A and B are shown apart, each in its own frame.
Chain A
């Protein structure tokens, strides 16, 4: 019995140290040093919160660049992927449907749609697309907005994030930031 009490007292002490003090300390520090990041990297347009730069959104209109497919349709409660195996009929069917749809909506593109526009992300909330996926949609978006092709292309280049520290990851484009910049371009 005495031994059990030691275990219980140890657990309670650690609960307060690691479960209360530590997370509150970290929240205080994080909110103080990195207020933008610790709260969710919110993006505001005209003072209205339109999303987080880290959480992908669904785009269906022709005048916006589209995100990758999402198994949860960009509803983050809860996040997740399709979990479909690579040999399943279901995945094959989904990808073929997506390919047909993309081709019919991008008749000007001779080449096959880029991989990342055919396959759903792991989180269902991927905020990025590959540079190829952005360029694939370039003509459609520019046309829908009556914008000069070159102007939109420059915008894609501006919003292309290179490798982090020149080494980690591959170049990518943040869809929400790019689309907000597009809106601004039209507004001017």
Chain B
């Protein structure tokens, strides 16, 4: 690593710390129903949304009603996305006459974009019309992100409210998140991306003759407006197949830096929002610090691995699958960020990473994407581990555990365990079924441990709603399209429904004032305990499967073994 690489890393972390308070307090105002400077130009749009949809914005919802609307809205989203994909040849803005998409691929993509996963079994530039990209996929990038933030806010309300039983209004939260946060940020961000060279047009593909006289067809389209929300909303679904490695999607080192920052921006700011809304600002910073610590540990392991000498290729810092304008350092940093958050955009081909770097990418997702994590998803995922930690600490001293003035009892803990175990189980069971099914194994392109990693990565990515891939795997088959769609739905709903149930249950509880026996959650000791619990749960669950994939591949690589 060069000195310049270290400086870039320091600049990245400093920028992240700098944007967290302003964005976090802005979001606290928006979701607290206070007026912000954006209300003057945009509040008419909010009212218009409620009128158009027939929503009563003053209605307060129980967790069951909130969850019902959440599920209904996802259902409608899946149907609409499938319709667009399966009829695109008859719709406008399809200059290349791209054909309609098969039902199983359309279903997989629909579930993928509605659940904020953005797993892509298809190649964007040769599959999706401009209309499908912008009116179907891009819209869902906004909405899946706004829904994720809404759930996090609902959980925060559940913790903050006393003896109420309601957790807000699903439509109001989703609308406000979209209109005051995601949309204005996307407008500015898209223009910045265009200034760097991201394309934004409706022109048919360009046929050119290169300097040496070869023919080249260059795909075009309205990319910038989709890429901005793809990063901000931690969606990650690329306009082009190569995702953020494509020069039209991520043209310069500066666009790359801002894209990395924007993946973490909202998730990081939500820790501050959480601190304000629960009146526990120090605890909010403790969550931020725990996330940052984990992020630095994981990124360091990944960098160490990538700069380790590979005797097979007689090199270290291998450039396979990486772009010159990013280099090795910014490629590894991006891979660590995108898998910590549930983004899944990639600027380097993860299958070509060194074995342990690929392993870190998987472990980041396996921990539940709580290292900043997805927008909303990162915070509520982290709060699951916080509740688990508080509970374990309570058991150690033999008291009913309390968290921010709320007693944590059996019903909450059952939901916490369900939400932590469900994605883990679906990763391991899905992988186990696939590596014993000949049909599933026929999609592999690698032999040996890397082949196993391809399958493990796919199920991890789907369950964690990440969407990145070891793209050697040919996943656009009926088997993987359906299996991964099911796992994506589990990864979304079997976390969010328990979260909303916890929010509802906590909101009904009375305030229990802290006493001398209360375990303090705003200390460094708590941060250490929290990180410990996360690592133990992650390691115990996934060490065996990681040993069969990236770890053994790394050990064999050092001995010069090829596959």
Q: Which A residues are within 8 Å of any B CB, using their own CB?
A: 3-15, 17-20, 22-23, 25-27, 29-31, 33-34, 37-42, 45, 48-52, 54-61, 64, 68, 74-89, 91-92, 95, 115-116, 118-130, 163-165, 167-170, 172, 176, 179-180, 183
Contacts and interface: CB of A to CB of B under 8 A. Distances in A.
Given A38-B201, A89-B562, A121-B322, 9 more contacts: A11-B73, A26-B187, A27-B201, A34-B195, A76-B217, A80-B241, A83-B352, A86-B312, A169-B330
Contact of A58 (B210, B253, B355): B210
A126 B212 contact: no
Interface in B133-153: 134-136, 138-139, 142-143
A83 B475 CA distance: 14
Interface in B239-256: 240-242, 245-248, 251-254, 256
B105 to A, nearest CB: 15
A78 B124 contact: yes
B126 to A, nearest CB: 5
Contacts of A92: 312-313, 562
B95 interface: no
B208 A50 contact: yes
A59 to B, nearest CB: 6
A128 B450 CA distance: 29
Contact of B242 (A4, A8, A61, A122): A122
B218 interface: yes
Contacts of A183: 211
B224 A83 contact: no
Contact of A9 (B52, B69, B562): B52
B348 interface: yes
Given A39-B203, A85-B553, A125-B242, A79 B125 contact: yes
B318 to A, nearest CB: 6
B352 A84 contact: yes
A81 B124 CA distance: 15
A143 B353 CA distance: 37
B355 A86 contact: yes
A13 B242 contact: no
A87 B448 contact: yes
Interface of B: 2, 4, 7-8, 11, 45, 48-49, 52-55, 68-69, 72-73, 75-77, 80, 123-126, 134-136, 138-139, 142-143, 171, 174, 178, 183, 186-187, 190-191, 194-203, 206, 208-212, 214, 216-220, 222, 224-226, 240-242, 245-248, 251-254, 256-257, 310, 312-313, 315, 317-327, 330-331, 346-349, 351-355, 445-446, 448, 450, 453, 470-472, 553, 556-557, 561-563
B246 A38 contact: no
A66 to B, nearest CB: 10
B138 A95 contact: no
Contacts of A33: 191, 194-195
Contacts of A84: 320-321, 351-352, 472
A87 B561 contact: yes
Contacts of B450: 85, 87-88
B319 A119 contact: yes
Contact of B246 (A6, A34, A88, A125): A125
A19 B206 contact: no
Given A37-B196, A58-B214, A87-B448, A30 B191 contact: yes
Contact of B194 (A23, A37, A163): A37
Contacts of A124: 242
B206 A49 contact: yes
A7 B259 CA distance: 32
Minimum-distance CB pairs A-B, first 3 = A169-B253, A19-B135, A122-B245
Contact of A30 (B224, B348, B553): B224
8 contacts: A19-B136, A26-B225, A51-B208, A81-B320, A119-B318, A122-B348, A164-B252, A164-B254
A84 B310 CA distance: 15
B245 A81 contact: yes
- Residue from A6, A29, A91, A180 having most chain B Cβ neighbours under 10 A: A6
Contacts of A95: 313
A161 to B, nearest CB: 9
A3 B245 contact: no
Given A19-B138, A30-B224, A121-B321, A57 B211 contact: yes
Contact of B556 (A22, A42, A81, A87): A87
B201 A39 contact: yes
B310 A86 contact: yes
A68 B323 CA distance: 10
- Residue from A30, A41, A87, A129 having most chain B Cβ neighbours under 10 A: A87
A55 B245 contact: no
A54 B562 contact: no
Contact of A27 (B77, B222, B310, B445): B222
A169 B183 contact: no
A6 B55 contact: yes
A76 B219 contact: yes
A5 B330 CA distance: 46
A51 B213 CA distance: 11
Nearest to A9: B53
- Residue from B2, B183, B241, B453 having most chain A Cβ neighbours under 10 A: B241
A173 B367 CA distance: 40
B73 A7 contact: yes
B201 A122 contact: no
Contacts of A14: 49, 139, 142-143, 178
A5 B54 contact: yes
A27 B200 contact: yes
A95 B312 CA distance: 11
- Residue from B53, B77, B226 having most chain A Cβ neighbours under 10 A: B53
B499 to A, nearest CB: 20
A164 B326 CA distance: 11
Contacts of B253: 163-164, 168-169
B108 to A, nearest CB: 17
A23 B69 contact: no
